[in-house]
Amino acid sequence: MEKTKEIVKVVNLHAGYTYPILKGVNTIFYKNEIKFIMGESGGGKSTLLKAIIGLVKVYQGEIYINGENFLEASYEKRKNMLKRIGFMFQSGALISSYPIWENVALPLIINTDFPIDLIKDIVYSKLKLVKLEKAFYKLPGELSGGMIKRAAIARAIIDEPEILFCDEPTAGLDPLTAAELDDIILSLKETLKIGIIIVSHEIESIIRIGDKILFLQKGKDVFDGTLKEAKEKGPEELKRYFELIK
């Protein structure tokens, strides 16, 4: 079934910066599901995402993308493999002097020879998916925090990836705006049939749209399963998150 298609597999991953933050993480990310990565500050949540796309040092372990070993691939092969993954940075990482359409279009402008009219059509379709088409010609400085997050998501899906990584997408947003963004993320999963991996502590969002949870503690995966399993037999540190909203 399409739902169980394995996109990214991490095996015994040790990764970090000047020293390993992750210490033997194992997990699998599937298409057509939303998986949240939770854990203590400094426990390796964002490091895991960055390791998978080659932004931090891997000391040991294996990373497979669509069944192919990412760490053993050539530079060109890695580039092609990473096209299957979209990445939304927490800050949005938009260029302030570029209009929104051009920010979203950057991957196509850099990596394709598509004519500009086609690129604009593709950008418009992606902005429409995140309910931001009316901001097509606006600058980032004219947008609210929630709109900047949506623009960042539109750019992350411009290459039609099979999996989308989101680093703290609702951080800094008011509850209503956060709920609206959750709805958009859920609609992307259902419309595009992609896997979505989210680093977040927002328990309301996790309960609202999550399918599974990966819980990291001191760089290790101490729980990896469904929300129901997390509530019933997850570690005490994880269960406390759910207790906060009772």
Q: What residue ranges do the domains of the chain occupy? A: 1-83+198-246
| Beta strand extents in the chain (DSSP E only) | 6-16, 20-30, 34-39, 57-65, 68-69, 85-88, 163-167, 195-199, 212-217, 220-226
| Greater model confidence, 42 or 130 | 130
**pLDDT reading at 12 higher than 90:** yes
Instruction: Give me the mean pLDDT over the 230-245 stretch.
Output: 81
Q: What is the CA radius of gyration of the chain?
A: 18
State the chain's mean pLDDT as an integer: 90
pLDDT at 245: 64
- Paired residues of 30 in beta bridges: 6
**pLDDT reading at 3 higher than 60:** no
1-83+198-246 carries CATH number 1.10.357.10: no
Instruction: Give me the mean pLDDT over the 185-209 stretch.
Output: 92
CA–CA distances in Å: residue 115 to residues 47, 80, 110: 36, 21, 12
